[in-house]
Chains A and B, each alone.
Chain A
Amino acid sequence: MSGGSLFRRGETNHPLGTKSMSSKRLLGLLLVLPALLVIVVLFIIPLILSAVGAFKVDGAFGLGNFVKTFELYTQDIVFTLLITGLSTILIGAASVAIGGYLTLGEHPRAVAILKFLYRWPMFIPFIVVGQILRTFLAKNGMMNNVAIELGLTTPLDAVSLLDWRGIVIAFVWKQTPFVALLVSGAMASLNRDTIEAARNLGASRLRVLVEIIVPQVAMTLTVGLVLSFVTMMSVLSVPLMINAQSPTMLTADIAFRVNSYGDYGVANALGIVSLVLASSVAWIYLRASMKERA
């Protein structure tokens, strides 16, 4: 219970909570420190070790791993960025549509149905998503089977979606409810007066959504999409289970490099590349949150 002793310390430090700013800051830092320490020891230090490893070739520092990485995996780097970017756009559009309908929908029964439907995939683990979509989207999967039964296609024309499309479908399937939950929560806590006023003045629901609601929940939407983007960049199970052939996601390449060649140098270099991609997106979040606070 390190938390308890830290609080007791705070008790003596500022009896009425009006003590000087600096002691409040110190207390705050002390309270955050244990959690930060876990991140530093269990993640940042190993991360630095892997970054150092990326620049090490046979015991000496050099760029050999990166040369090899871009030689072998440039296609996969572009592929990863396109897949994750496309999925993020689709997730954003779908969650705004869901949140918008939940907020503006005028038919209570339709709203209730949507509310019941959209959340199911949210807590389904990625590894389960990979497994069930692999069997669903395959050439002999349920999607093709239903299409064949309905006469929309024939067994000969059935296509397997287990390529880049399968990965995008899996990501959108799993991540949309999470972002939609965040977004619809933010929408629900908005002041309804402006929305009603705009509706009374004759603005269509689509226009109210785009021009009044979305700008006000933009921050929450950004947070959800950034979290989804970095999550998708880190997931190993979905690309491994749905599409492990080339071109594939960087996570699958890293696993392959380690498992098949024991090549930690190139694996670490690939890790650095994905770090750069992911952190450029995290940077967007940081700038947005700075702007809001300013």
Chain B
Amino acid sequence: MTLSLPSAPAAGTPMTTGKTARLSERLTDRLAVLWWVPRGIIFGLMAFFIFGPLFNMLLWTVAEKWYFPHTLPLQYGFSSWEKVFAPRGGALDSLANSLLVAVLTVIVSLLLAIPSGYALARLKLPARSLILLAFLIPQAFPNLTVYVNVARIFYEIGLNGTVPGVVLVHVSHGLVYAVWIATAAFSAIDGELEQAARNIGAGALRAFRDITLPLAAPGLIASAIFVFLESLDEFTGSYFVGAPDVNMLPLLLYTAGAGGNYQVASITALLLLIPSLLFMMIVERFLKADVLSRVGH
């Protein structure tokens, strides 16, 4: 580093010093360029392992014929797409169901998470860590056996095989993201702003609505994104509580893949991927470092 600094020789210094300095500067530049070799190898490998599987999936969506040991499909075409999107293909139904359930799950989760997050961030709560941990429980237990029991209860009260039933299961699963991120979002806001609004006469609800809620909005949107994707991704609960009356995309993907129909499975996978990738590109706008560093605290 220090070698490259004295590039312009001061007046009066012998020419040789300037020459050496320039030479060594060029040398450090060369060496800096050389660093791109290990960087290139590491980034190249990362790119291959990240985009390779995705590209492989894209190939499967248009592969008509592809078997070992051929590196690429032998024949390309869109016949699988026609099959999937045919009126009786089931994909459109599953897509509509998946989106409906995900949107409802987000709404219910936020209605529950906003008051909880505010309380966990601002008010002194007994056993706060335990309460935070309670929301983790649905993620901490292999939910398979739990959903079997949920399905039995739902069956008795007529919720099995209905959209509200699936939404409730997804809410219980997604609440950990909603509550934890909402808590972090509220604790990242300076409490004095709300206090100032209260001091000039705003009620608690008004101060919350006009000051705290807008400031927490980016974090809350981020938590909504997580809940939405969690719902879209959810497979086990949808299988036991929803199927066969409420068909969802993950179920379609699973049955197609299990049946060896990699084309239909890959097309369904692509349908599930698009919202995920879209959200990935915008999530950083909403999830700032000050909120991120408080998640789970």
Q: Which of A's residues lie within 8 Å of B, judged by CB?
A: 1-4, 6-8, 10-11, 14-17, 21, 24-25, 27-29, 31-32, 34-36, 38-39, 42-44, 46-47, 49-50, 53, 107, 110, 113-114, 117-128, 130-136, 139-143, 145-146, 148-149, 155, 173, 181-182, 185-186, 188-189, 217, 219-220, 223, 227, 230-231, 233-234, 236-237, 240-241, 250-251, 254-255, 258, 264, 267-268, 270-271, 274-275, 278-279, 282, 285-286, 289-290, 292-293
Contact = CB atoms under 8 A, between A and B. Distances in A.
A29 B69 CA distance: 62
A149 B113 contact: no
Chain B residues touching A, range = 35 or more
A292 B56 CA distance: 45
B162 to A, nearest CB: 14
Contact of A123 (B50, B60, B229): B229
Nearest to A42: B172
Contacts, number: 304
Contact of B115 (A32, A43, A251, A254): A32
Given A17-B198, A110-B39, A127-B253, A50 B290 contact: no
Contacts of A189: 289-290, 292-293
Contact of B204 (A10, A131, A290): A10
A39 to B, nearest CB: 6
A142, A267, A268, A286 — most chain B CB neighbours (10 Å): A142
B141 A271 contact: yes
Interface string B256-297: 010000100110010011001101100100011111110111
A278 B131 contact: no
A127 B123 contact: no
Interface string B40-59: 00010011111111111101
A250 B292 contact: no
A42 B276 contact: no
A267 B257 contact: no
B119 A32 contact: yes
B134 interface: yes
24 contacts: A4-B205, A14-B204, A34-B112, A35-B175, A36-B134, A43-B138, A47-B137, A114-B43, A123-B283, A126-B235, A131-B269, A132-B53, A155-B68, A173-B50, A181-B287, A185-B292, A217-B293, A230-B141, A233-B140, A236-B236, A251-B144, A258-B148, A274-B141, A274-B142
Contacts of B96: none
A35 B138 contact: no
B272 A125 contact: yes
Contacts of B235: 126-127, 236-237
Contact of B292 (A181, A227, A230): A181
A53, A117, A234, A268 — most chain B CB neighbours (10 Å): A234
Given A120-B280, A264-B148, 9 more contacts: A4-B205, A17-B195, A38-B112, A139-B68, A146-B48, A230-B136, A234-B140, A282-B133, A282-B136
B88 interface: no
Interface in B168-204: 168-169, 171-172, 175, 179, 195, 198-199, 203-204
A123 B276 contact: yes
B46 A117 contact: yes
A66 to B, nearest CB: 14
B126 A142 contact: no
Interface string B127-168: 001110111111111111111111001000000000000001
